[in-house]
Chain A
Amino acid sequence: MGKPSALLLAAPVQEQLIESISRRLNVTGVIGMGGTSRFRSLASPVFADIDSALAQARPDVVCFLAPSGRTGELMRQAIDNGLPVLSAGPPDMSARAWRGLSDQVENGGSPLVWGRRFAYSEVHRRLLEQRVQPAMGTPVYLRCVGGGDGGLLATWWSLCEMVEQAVALLGADPVHLYVSAKSARRRCHALATVVMANKASAQLIAIPSSFPCSGDLTLLCGGGLLTSHTAFGGPVGDRSGRSPDYWLATPDLTPEPEWLADFAGHCVRAADPPFATLSTYPAQRAILVALRSALKCGEVVEARAV
């Protein structure tokens, strides 16, 4: 069996990520998302919309790597075409539109899942291996720095991803989630403060850069402290275009190729997706509502649906 194939919906700043994915899967095409900038040196064909992409080649799966205001509509379009959809984050849809889409998926439509890229991150796996050692004791606190690329919806996706990762690393569900945020020059920065059922807490920072998933983590436990600085040495943000004279050569730690390959493999085998996420939508939607409110009022806002 050949490589699974995927149609990617991605932002121009994600060219390097697309190249990483194309080494693992057959990328049938790329649709530009999030803003007016253009891809500069992409090897894969670029399309304006799903219909024109599907007219050229039918992929095994469609993958959303970056959000836009049209994410929900494009997801529905893919599902209408019988294509499984994997997304880095949830769609921003009205309650009515969401009910329609989720009903379609739950009643025999193509799979739609999102998030959990971190679960395919080597950084996360190594951290979790260490965390479950008895000597580490109980988790107390997580500091996580993730990238939001500056846009509101990308910041939301980053917060959603980090909250899921906090649940995995701290070993408990959130009981309170507060969002604070500040935006200037079209660059959004947000902080989610999460209190878990086991009294552990997390401070999750979405910075306005295309920071790698699971890039910078500090996990404090009763028996010790775990830190990762895997973002250092790797390309971060727009400064990656600069050619350094001296640098730390690091392996490609982006989890997306394995995340997408695993999903596509399940779909090709007609197996259930590796994880389900539809039920997480209300809580994640509440984070977006809180994020918008925090930006508007300049205060700490609780995400109430948690």
Chain B
Amino acid sequence: MSPDTYGILLVSFSKHSHQRNFVPLYLRHPRVGIVAVTDDVDITSEQRALNRQWARDLDVPYVENVERGLELAGVDIVSIGCEIERRSDVAERAAAAGKHLWIDKFLGATVAECDSVVAAVAAAGVSAIVPSYAYGELVRRSRKVLDDGQLGELLGVHVDVMFSKGWPRPIPERDQNRPFLPAGRWKFPDIKRELLTVGSYAVGLVQACCGPIRQVYGHAGAFFFTEHAAHGAEDFGTLTMIDDSGRTASLCGGRIGVATDAMGGPSRAWLVGTEGTAVVDVRQPAIHTMVRSKIVETDYAPAADDPMQWASGPPLMGSPIHPDAGLAEGLEDLVRAIDEGRSPHYSVRQARDNMEILISGYRSIVEGAPVSLPQPA
């Protein structure tokens, strides 16, 4: 690699992360190169096999033990794609080793873990990015509308983000009234907590448009998937939020099943101002694609090894004219941030606040009442 290229160490290809989606970005970017794949020693044999397969495919070494991976020559950036429960520990170790961080969505499983990562990054003076939220079309277009000033003073932001993925089935009666599973347990073999997983994108937009959130009211409890109902864990949820200047925000987020949207699921926002209201829809403008054979001959079902479609998408009947290049923007921001010795636009502090909003939402769902932020430690 040339001297002005940053070497990336890939930590884990957990199926609960988006590491597989990051690889093409790294391969395309002229200023970064993949050095190796690594993971902790005490992982499952399936995870180790998957990691090794990726290393082989990328033609880089697989290094057992993250500590050893961090010691490899040429590692500048650590791309963290392990499960959420291990993420803060890996991030802290990597920051302590002086590595810059690319962290998939969540810093840790709790606000305390997120705080530890924020402190570790600050102490190490490294650049750390959480690229999933602030660089996408939804935020970019919304910010443009707001920055153009056509809406006047912003009064509220309302966001719908839904993934038209997975195969819903009728919920057995025994699972229809299970107590709601509180925040804290995120990892399951068969499901993700969808208010966290999907709702975090909507929270990212709210963060981009509003001030710090100081009150949250959450609701969940109507299920699409038997798998979620069996755990009492939401596949869909809503949050109502108030920011520090009294602006009102709301979101819905969830996995709602295949074939519920022509383009993979609604992803849109209403920006309400004193002078007007704008609808931002990242699926529009679009080319609508109606192919007879794909409709009349279809016999579709998600792949048996990916029933919730974490690594695959539903059939689409069109595509946005302007595709979302958010992750690539994020990588560019990280590279520039490292060059300039600054923090990326959306860093660990904002990601920590995103998590606090979501966890407060979960608490509100359990308590059945609005909760105030910041939460006591």
Q: How many A-B residue pairs have CB under 8 A?
A: 115
Q: Which of B242, B260, B270 contacts A180 (CB 8 A)?
A: B242
Mostly helix, strand, loop or mixed at chain A's interface?
strand
Report yes or no: B156 in contact with A205, Cβ–Cβ below 8 A. Answer: yes
Within the complex, the shortest CB–CB distance from A235 to chain B, in Å, comes to 13
Q: How far is the CA of A223 from the CA of B256 in the complex (A)?
A: 9
Q: Which of A182, A209, A300 contacts B217 (CB 8 A)?
A: A300
Report yes or no: A300 in contact with B247, Cβ–Cβ below 8 A. Answer: no
B224 in the interface (beta carbon within 8 A) = yes
Known: A187-B155, A208-B274, A239-B276. Contact between A203 and B261, CB under 8 A?
no
B152 in the interface (beta carbon within 8 A) = yes
Report yes or no: B260 in contact with A225, Cβ–Cβ below 8 A. Answer: yes
A44 in the interface (beta carbon within 8 A) = no
| Binding-face segment, A90-98, A112-120, A191-199 | A191-199
Instruction: Name the A residues within 8 Å of B370 (CB-CB).
Output: 178, 299-300
Instruction: Name the A residues within 8 Å of B252 (CB-CB).
Output: 141, 143, 203, 220
Report yes or no: B155 in contact with A193, Cβ–Cβ below 8 A. Answer: no
B250 in the interface (beta carbon within 8 A) = yes
Chain B residues with a Cβ closer than 8 Å to the other chain, count:
39
Report yes or no: B274 in contact with A195, Cβ–Cβ below 8 A. Answer: no
Within the complex, the shortest CB–CB distance from B295 to chain A, in Å, comes to 16
Who on chain B is nearest to A294 by CB?
B248
Q: Which of A138, A145, A193, A216 contacts B219 (CB 8 A)?
A: A193
Q: Which of B238, B246, B277 contacts A141 (CB 8 A)?
A: B238
Report yes or no: A138 in contact with B222, Cβ–Cβ below 8 A. Answer: yes
Instruction: Give chain A's interface residue range (CB within 8 Å of chain B).
Output: 35 or more
Q: Residue among A181, A193, A223 with the most chain B CB within 10 A?
A: A193
A298 in the interface (beta carbon within 8 A) = yes
Report yes or no: B274 in contact with A299, Cβ–Cβ below 8 A. Answer: no
Who on chain B is nearest to A142 by CB?
B252
List residues of B (121-180) whose CB comes within 8 Å of A's CBs.
152-153, 155-156, 158, 160, 162, 164, 168
A58 in the interface (beta carbon within 8 A) = no
Report yes or no: B168 in contact with A222, Cβ–Cβ below 8 A. Answer: yes
B interface residue numbers (CB < 8 A to A):
152-153, 155-156, 158, 160, 162, 164, 168, 215, 217, 219, 221-222, 224, 236, 238, 240, 242, 245-248, 250, 252, 256, 259-261, 266, 270, 272, 274-277, 279, 368, 370
Q: Can you identify 14 A-B contacts, CB atoms within 8 angstroms?
A: A182-B248, A185-B152, A189-B248, A200-B222, A201-B222, A205-B250, A205-B272, A209-B276, A218-B266, A220-B162, A298-B242, A298-B246, A299-B242, A300-B217
